């Protein structure tokens, strides 16, 4: 039986104690302190609108080692047509991630409660966006949560070809300069695998996370020219 979280406690079950689908627990809330505790322990919320909050710790896990990112010649060329910003339009990035149609996907998990919770994390300095602009218009980007030296990617969108991949490449360039360790890509997707992300055992992911989640990183989340 999947345990229910106590709203008055931030304690999670052991992230290894999931069902076969990777679901660890349900219930609780999206309080920023609970969210940070979750990410520090390799847990993230993912649920459909109208359903209880589900907390996940999947096995296998998808990770992007920063040096494994595959920057193709075509993407490198395409990157030159965009300009980039960090944290200039965080909420709008979330809204566009929620509203952009995706192949083989009905609706979105990014509901109003999720937008409000992660926007609050953003104001606290723990959630960040990287944005691609074309002629001053926001055309692509992604957002995620930072714990220590790990960027936990949440979602991305593109309204122009390569706009999200270019933002992702720009993010990785900066994470390397800031001495981050890796990106948590959460669940396997063919898109992220094509960019160099790899599936790893949950135990290995949690080991790496334990080494990095509480490290201090000095960065200002500004574009380095």
The pLDDT tens digits for 66-77 are 999 999 999 999
- Run of H or E residues at 183: strand 182-186
Query: For residue range 23-37, what is the model confidence (pLDDT) as tens digits?
Result: 999 999 999 999 999
pLDDT of residue 102: 64
Compute the distance between CA of residue 49 and CA of residue 28 in angstroms, rounded to an integer.
15
pTM of the model: 0.95
- Ordered by where they begin, the domains of the chain are 4-58 (3.30.70.3550), 62-212 (3.40.630.70)
The size of the chain, in residues, is 225
**pLDDT at residue 109 is higher than 90:** no
DSSP string, 85-151: EESSSHHHHHHHHHHS--TT--S-S--HHHHHHHHHHHHTTSEEEEEEEETTEEEEEEEEEEETTEE
Alpha-carbon span 107 to 5, nearest angstrom: 26
Q: Give the CB-side neighbour count of residue 80, counting CA atoms within 13 A.
A: 4
pLDDT of 107 above 60:
no
Q: What is the pLDDT of residues 137-172, one digit of tens each?
A: 999 999 999 999 999 999 999 999 999 999 999 999
Task: Tell me the per-residue pLDDT of 111-127, one tens digit each, with 9 for 90 and over.
Answer: 999 999 999 999 999 99
Rounded mean pLDDT of the chain? 94
Task: Tell me the H-state helices in the chain.
Answer: 32-40, 73-78, 90-99, 112-123, 163-177, 190-194, 202-212
| 86: nearest Cα among 148, 174, 208, 200 | 174
Alpha-carbon distance of 118 to 145, in angstroms, equals 8
């Amino acid at each position: 039986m999947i345990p229910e979280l106590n709203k008055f406690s931030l304690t999670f079950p052991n992230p290894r104690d999931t069902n076969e689908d990777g679901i660890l627990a349900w219930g609780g809330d999206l309080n920023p302190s609970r969210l940070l505790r979750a990410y520090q322990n390799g847990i993230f919320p993912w649920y459909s609108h109208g359903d209880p909050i589900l907390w996940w710790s999947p096995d296998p896990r998808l990770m992007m080692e920063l040096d494994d990112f595959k920057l193709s010649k075509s993407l490198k060329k395409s990157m030159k047509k965009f300009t980039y910003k960090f944290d200039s339009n965080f909420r709008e990035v979330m809204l566009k991630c929620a509203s952009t149609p995706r192949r083989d996907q009905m609706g979105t998990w990014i509901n109003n409660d999720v937008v409000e919770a992660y926007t609050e994390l953003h104001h606290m300095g723990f959630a960040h966006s990287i944005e691609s602009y074309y002629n001053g218009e926001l055309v692509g980007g992604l957002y995620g949560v930072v714990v220590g030296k790990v960027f936990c990617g949440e979602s991305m969108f593109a309204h122009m070809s390569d706009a999200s991949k270019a933002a992702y490449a720009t993010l990785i360039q900066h994470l390397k300069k800031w001495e981050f360790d890796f990106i948590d890509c959460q669940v396997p997707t063919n898109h992220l695998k094509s960019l160099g992300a790899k599936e790893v055992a949950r135990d290995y992911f949690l080991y790496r996370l334990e080494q990095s989640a509480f490290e201090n990183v000095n960065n200002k989340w500004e574009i380095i020219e």
